[in-house]
Structure 1
Amino acid sequence: MSMLSLFIFFLLAFALTYFMRAYALKKNIIDNPNERSSHSVPTPRGGGVAVVCSYLLALTVLIYSQQLTLHIGLTLMAAGFVIALLGFLDDHGHINSMLRLAIHFLVAISVVISLGGFSEVTAFNGLALGFSANIIAVLFLVWLLNLYNFMDGINGIASVEAITTVVSMAILYYVLNTTLNSDIHWLLAACVFGFLLWNFPKAKIFMGDACSGFLGLTLGILALIALKENLALFCAWIICLGVFVVDATYTLIKRVLSGYKMYDAHRSHSYQILSRKWGSHTPVTLAVAAINLLWLLPLAYYTVTQPLAYPEFMVLVAYLPLILIAMKLKAGHPDA
């Protein structure tokens, strides 16, 4: 993948975000602050559609130039398009949460079937998962899709998480000289970066559900593609996604145990608490980038380059400090 190609798709996403902002203002697609919000000023939303459109075009180009197999390309494009369209419609008018979740499951099941299933996967140095691996894969995709929406709450955080994750994994693919395609990672980073400049440090437009769900699903599919190669690579993906996975999962479990409904609006994620404590979104987003690159990436590198009997153990090592941070900040606590 040439630098020129990356620059072209970066510019495309940047330009499309400008037009999406104009469209949102014209149609009054505005995100007004509520009890879940971490912002205080009404801001247009839906700018992430630019990322979706530019990345789908990038995948089309890769398929046409035979740099990406038709099977993988169409799986990413079809699943991503459906989730992005669902999010786009939700941005324009509320869609019933149960209907939305049902579609999420249908898309996730379709992806797992398209990828050939995961019944052959073993964990913990030989434990055969059988058909249960397919169920776990479906739940993984649905949860990652939704948690990405939960975590898209302050300026730049969802974009920075996506960029650092795919760049980290692209670096690992290069180090390992794997046959897996890393061009799809670099192109996604370029497209997201084109949007990021409109969203960070000061948000001129928000990403919206169309893109947050799209990113969560896309990252999940890329992780499952790595799982077809080997478990250590999949564990590396899980490690690199650690900030979002831990914050969203810990907060949700804490809130459910406290008697709250799963989709109740709130501001008790670790990143939201920190943004209030520090009085700004910017240092929190930069802290996420630092954790991803200085803590999670080295651990992911160790996981894929060392002959570990239990690569799953490295996920625990990576997550433990993040869990302790969430506990210290009282994430999910009603008074947080």
Structure 2
Amino acid sequence: MTLWWLVPLVLAMALMMTAILRRYALAKSIIDIPNARSSHAIPTPRGGGVSIVVAFLGALLILAANDKVEPHALLALGGAGSVIAVIGFMDDHGHIAARWRLLGHFFAAAWALAWLGGMPPLELLGTTLALGWVGHVLAAFYLVWMLNLYNFMDGIDGIASVEAITACLGACLLYGLAGVTGLSWAPLLLAAAVAGFLFWNFPPARIFMGDAGSGFLGIVLGVLSLLAAWQSSALLWGWLILLGVFVVDATFTLARRLFRGEKVYEAHRSHAYQFASRRHQGHLSVTLGVLVINLLWLLPVACAVVLGYLDGFAGLLIAYAPLLVLALFYRAGARET
């Protein structure tokens, strides 16, 4: 039975649900009010990312019922994603202390890893590394960092949506090159769900994703990358390359702020993309710039890795080098002025 009809259905579902969530947010005054730490100037409703959660999880159940997703993948993606979405939804409607959020994040990561079987052996510079329990711990921190960095990087109109769509569709291409096309259904439908939301979030945004959506995307993308790693280490390297813009900006910014002794859990506007949006006086050019980088630089490097022309780690370094230069150019992590 063909399931291609799911792609437009998921897109349409996310599109319509975002419209409903926008009206709900306006009615309940769930609004992001601009302040000194904001990258936007107009009060805007938030929480639209719930449409991505509902549309994707519904599609995931249909995939599982048609044997397109293995039960362990369904439980890892659906369970961890649901936990993070609920935590984010509660935080969007009020406030949850950082320590409790972090505890929930690690619980979700542990849940996903329990169903995935932990961290698979990793090919690094021609050597296979089986890290055992150390690898599982590193994988948990990786998932928690992925969901948090996605939250950090969801700060201007459209950027988180464009990153998710290009990474997911790029991964589908990598799966095709690696001969594991069966893995493509989940990222393809996640891209469709995000595309439906992007209609409302494209600059100038009429609704924001909120923590429920950004955290959900972060952990689901992380779990998808580990699922792929069980097929091939090259696919994990490919995912990390495709997500390079977010990984480099968020990690470099965090490291620089930590080095200065700042409270990294406090809101700020010192990511490279935020400095860039202020320099270029708008969100659209930065979001489109991320799209161009993903398609014309990161995707070709990821393809070279999966095709065996580049070692995975070497490809990662090559892909990230110009991103680090851009982060430095746009003063990622510098003090705000």
> What is the RMSD computed on CA atoms of the aligned residues?
1.3
1:267 counterpart (247, 266, 269): 269
Return the offset for 1:132.
Answer: 1.4
Return the offset for 1:153.
Answer: 0.3
Q: Is 182-191 or 209-218 further displaced after alignment?
A: 182-191
1:251 counterpart (232, 238, 253): 253
**Counterpart in 1 of 2:287?**
285
Letter of the 2:275 counterpart: I
**Counterpart in 2 of 1:204?**
206
Structure 1 residue matching 2:34: 3-state secondary structure: coil
**Counterpart in 1 of 2:278?**
276
**Counterpart in 2 of 1:118?**
119
Return the offset for 1:180.
Answer: 4.3
1:209-224 aligned at under 5 Å gives the runs 209-224=211-226
Distance in 1 (CA, whole Å) between partners of 2:283 and 2:4 is: 31
* Contact 2:75 2:115 (C-alpha < 8 Å) held by counterparts: no
Q: Does 1:311 align with 2:312?
A: yes
Moved over 6 A (4+): none
Return the offset for 1:230.
Answer: 1.7
Distance in 1 (CA, whole Å) between partners of 2:333 and 2:90 is: 29
Distance in 2 (CA, whole Å) between partners of 1:226 and 1:186 is: 14
Q: Does 1:141 align with 2:143?
A: yes
**Counterpart in 1 of 2:333?**
332
Distance 1:119 1:181, change over 3 A: closer
Q: Is 38-47 or 102-111 further displaced after alignment?
A: 102-111
1:36-51 aligned at under 5 Å gives the runs 36-51=37-52
1:1-336 aligned at under 5 Å gives the runs 2-118=3-119, 120-126=121-127, 127-178=129-180, 180-306=182-308, 308=310, 310-335=311-336
CA-to-partner distance for each residue in 1:10-65, whole Å, 9 max, x for gaps? 11000000110011011110011123210011110000101100101000111112
Return the offset for 1:335.
Answer: 3.4
CA-to-partner distance for each residue in 1:55-77, whole Å, 9 max, x for gaps? 01000111112221222112211
CA-to-partner distance for each residue in 1:74-99, whole Å, 9 max, x for gaps? 22111111100000000000000011
Structure 1 residue matching 2:162: 3-state secondary structure: helix
Distance 1:64 1:2, change over 3 A: closer
Distance in 2 (CA, whole Å) between partners of 1:302 and 1:122 is: 16
Return the offset for 1:128.
Answer: 3.7
* Contact 2:178 2:307 (C-alpha < 8 Å) held by counterparts: yes
Distance in 1 (CA, whole Å) between partners of 2:232 and 2:176 is: 16
Distance in 2 (CA, whole Å) between partners of 1:191 and 1:39 is: 24
Distance in 1 (CA, whole Å) between partners of 2:51 and 2:336 is: 37
TM-score (norm: length of structure 2): 0.96
* Contact 1:198 1:205 (C-alpha < 8 Å) held by counterparts: yes
Same amino acid, percent of matched pairs: 49
Q: Is 118-127 or 231-240 further displaced after alignment?
A: 118-127
Return the offset for 1:226.
Answer: 1.0
Return the offset for 1:307.
Answer: 5.5
CA-to-partner distance for each residue in 1:128-151, whole Å, 9 max, x for gaps? 423211111111100000000000
Structure 1 residue matching 2:132: 3-state secondary structure: coil
CA-to-partner distance for each residue in 1:237-289, whole Å, 9 max, x for gaps? 00000000000000011111112111121111111111111111001000000
Letter of the 1:198 counterpart: W
Return the offset for 1:329.
Answer: 1.5
Structure 2 residue matching 1:229: 3-state secondary structure: coil
Distance in 1 (CA, whole Å) between partners of 2:4 and 2:70 is: 21
Distance in 2 (CA, whole Å) between partners of 1:290 and 1:122 is: 29
Distance in 1 (CA, whole Å) between partners of 2:36 and 2:175 is: 42
Letter of the 1:291 counterpart: I
Q: Is 121-130 or 28-37 further displaced after alignment?
A: 121-130
Distance in 1 (CA, whole Å) between partners of 2:36 and 2:101 is: 22
* Contact 2:273 2:330 (C-alpha < 8 Å) held by counterparts: no
Distance in 2 (CA, whole Å) between partners of 1:38 and 1:274 is: 11
Distance in 2 (CA, whole Å) between partners of 1:234 and 1:180 is: 16
Letter of the 2:329 counterpart: K
The runs of 5 or more residues in structure 2 that have no matched partner are none
Return the offset for 1:179.
Answer: 5.3
Distance in 2 (CA, whole Å) between partners of 1:28 and 1:223 is: 36
